[in-house]
Amino acid sequence: MITLTSVTKVFGAATNPVRALDGVSLAVDAGEIFGVIGQSGAGKSTLIRTVNLLERPDSGSVSVADRELTALSDRDLLHARREIGMVFQQFNLLDSRTVRGNVELALEVVGVGRRERASRTNEILELVGLENKANQYPAQLSGGQKQRVGIARALASRPRVLLSDEATSALDPETTHSILQLLKSLNRDLGLTILLITHEMDVVKSICDSAALMSGGRILEQGRLVDLLAQPGSQLARGLFPLGELPDGNSTVIDVTFVGLSSARPVVARLARTHQLDVGLLGAAMETIGGAQSGRTRLELPGTIDAHTAAISDLRAQGLVVEIVRSGR
């Protein structure tokens, strides 16, 4: 649904250029929620703004819903942008307009008639749970309600894609949760494809199907969360399941990741029994990630890694992902 190919964007003077996007390629499937995560300055905002060409790339191409936006004339681009809604961290509402007025504005600018505007706005306000707030002004709303107006406005032109630029960063944890759940239900009920940027792993964990990790204008990793969890060495997978620091010592330490049904199996007990091992449990986490029940366990095994090749092969044969965090001495 969204494809970025080798997109580059450089800011600043030629003497001191900032490569905000450095050959970024990204593929977001129709109907999924895709999260781009990275630290401040990684290039996330620039990336999301190139998807609707608020920011025009210096090179590379951007396609949304099978149309290459980078090849369109300005007039055709205006039309194509109706397929793409966007929500912002600071809501960007007009204070002088009511909730209804803010949502209707998005329809006025694309020439939708008065009656159609009113009926569509009623429909959308109900969808975001604001039917009772239609005549209030932004100053009378909480942060979460303001973001619901922002989402309603973004949905007014019935887009197929929603871009979310840190939509929950200005909200408290409880409100964040309710807005994320709203995005999830819009994704499910309307088949809306959502591309969001965030600096919080919890946002990725709670609603995303896929994710990309950005740093220094580049994508370091991307994919479906269930696939990343099964990929040894994945930084995203480590972020989804932080297991803390390694203990001191000379023991062997392994991380065992379970994706899907295998998580229910008594892996540790079986390992201890079959291989007569004194297994130490250093950490464990269990989550539903990307729609699958997943877990990661950090185990400490006595002695060197060479003593455990049979046990590790056995775990891998069961479909578990084993990563050797430290080879004992």
Task: Please give the residue ranges that form the binding site for ligand ATP (CB under 6 A).
Answer: 11-12, 18, 20, 38, 40-46, 199
Question: Please, are residues 256 and 263 in contact by the beta-carbon 8 Å criterion?
Answer: no
Distance separating alpha carbons of residues 5 and 61, to the nearest angstrom: 5
Nearest to 4 by CA among 70, 78, 75, 79: 70
Q: Residue 246 CB, nearest distance to ligand ATP (Å)?
A: 30
- Least Cβ distance, residue 38 to ligand ATP (angstroms): 5
* Alpha carbon distance 92, 147 (integer Å): 9
Nearer to ligand ATP, 1 or 47 (CB): 47
Decide whether 55 or 255 has the Cβ nearer to ligand ATP. 55
Of the pair 18, 269, the CB lying nearest ligand ATP is at: 18
Query: Would you call 275 exposed, middle or buried from its count of C-beta atoms within 10 A (0-12, 13-18, 19+)?
Result: middle
Q: Give min distance, CB of 46 to ligand ATP, in A.
A: 3
Closer residue to ligand ATP in complex, CB, 164/251: 164
Rounded least distance, CB 153 to ligand ATP, Å: 22
Amino acid of residue 275: H
Token pair, residue 23, equals 């050959």
Cα–Cα distance, 229 to 262 (Å, whole number)? 13
For the CB of residue 143, give the shortest distance to ligand ATP in the complex, in Å: 19
CB of 214: closest distance to ligand ATP in angstroms? 7
Task: Compare residues 11 and 135 and give the one whose CB is closer to ligand ATP.
Answer: 11
Q: Which is nearer to ligand ATP, 38 or 159 (CB)?
A: 38
Give 225-231's long-range contacts (Cβ < 8 A, gap of 24+): 225/289, 225/290, 226/259, 226/260, 226/289, 226/290, 226/291, 226/292, 226/294, 229/257, 229/259, 229/289, 229/290, 229/294, 229/296, 229/321, 230/257, 230/259, 230/321, 231/321
Please state the φ and ψ torsions of residue 100, each to the nearest 5 degrees: -55, -45
User: Measured between alpha carbons, how far is 294 from 306 in angstroms, rounded to an integer?
Assistant: 28
The residue (of 45 and 145) whose beta carbon lies closer to ligand ATP is: 45
What is the token pair recorded at 95? 């204070």
Q: Cβ 208 to ligand ATP, closest distance in Å?
A: 17
